[in-house]
Structure 1
Amino acid sequence: MTNRFWPTREEWAANAEHYVRTACAPKERVSNRPADWLATDELAEARALIPAILKAARAGLNREVASLRAQLGDIPKGVGWYDWHDSLTAEQQALANRHSELIDARRSLNSEAKRALEEHNTVDYLLFAWGQISAAAARVDAAQEQTDRLDALQYALAERRNTAAQAALRDAIDRATARRNSDEGWAEELERRAGIEAGPRVIRYPA
């Protein structure tokens, strides 16, 4: 026998909402498939927007990177970059920082654009990829019309999934609350506690 402290029936019932909220994140209660929250034509539109955004953003990033390199001269890599950066004037440091940001944006643009076009994406993965693509394009004011539309689709995907997740959470709370306030639910809880108190069952097989 164990010597556990168990909450009273009233305490157990009052803890229903806390139990449900901490069991998992709301989004885990609903589908993580983009096709469940965006129509087929909306997903197709997003996929069609990405190549145009990629082309315009990459061209803009390449132009500005080249311009900054022309102003800064040779830019060392690795640990030498920090000593080089410290030797610059404040104005040059601002240009060097901008150069680093654009390089990161270009790298992110290329990788996330490729991933965004994969067939089997989750909602979270797709939201992140679309966000990175839009952010990279925004750094050089490229493809504004296309990125605005991609952002709208990104918002719709997130909002629809979130709305459903909150509804699923509310439903789970209501069901847990009703169960914990019922005689049947309390009987099941007592049975569960008794099983825990009894400890693991040992199955003995004949020799």
Structure 2
Amino acid sequence: MAALRTISVLACTAVFTVGCATNPQTGEREAGKTATYGGLGALAGAAVGALASKDDRGKGALIGAAVGGAAGAGYGYYVDKQEAQLRQSMQGTGVDVQRQGDQLSLVMPGNITFATNSSEITSGFYSTLNTVAKSLQQYDKSLVDVIGHTDSVGSYDYNLQLSQRRAQSVLNYLAGQGVAYNRLTARGMGPSQPIADNTSDAGRAQNRRVEIKLAPLPNTQY
């Protein structure tokens, strides 16, 4: 019974340890989806570790919980690391790194990516895309969806085609920098998904953007 109580205490401690993630922006510890999966993995790992370590069940539980927590966190833990790297490398570039659940997105304002009515990437943005490509190569277990958006000025069909060409330009550049082509998709949404009011200059500027959304590759172990 004493050994079981020790295992329980150590397992709970390990759950608490792996069940918190550090917010890259604030530096504070907080619970999240990664924490939930990690906590469940820690419980399972603690049980296995305790059974495997006959001489010191308490120590075995702690080790098993740590390993199980990392494995249980899965894609969420994987994205945590890439998010931290991208937030650091994108500082000062004008690219906004966004996180919603396990989906990581890079939002690239149109004014730093393309000239007006053009789908040719501005030369000043090459270095930023080079950094993005390096991250996508290092963290290669994700699908990369490149999505072009425009404001509502002009015809819908023209904007739809322009947004598609812009998304394809970014895709081609990333592929040229070594990102596997079979991970990449490009699509244009035109003005159909505004994030700001199209009646103002500031709002239209926000709507002109390219987004890179990352999602887990199917049938992949993380």
Would you say same fold, with TM above 0.5?
A: no
Structure in which a larger fraction of residues adopt strand: 2
Structure number with higher relative contact order (C-alpha < 8 Å, ≥ 6 residues apart)? 1
Structure in which a larger fraction of residues adopt helix: 1
| Structure of larger gyration radius | 1
Report the TM range for the smaller structure's normalisation.
under 0.3
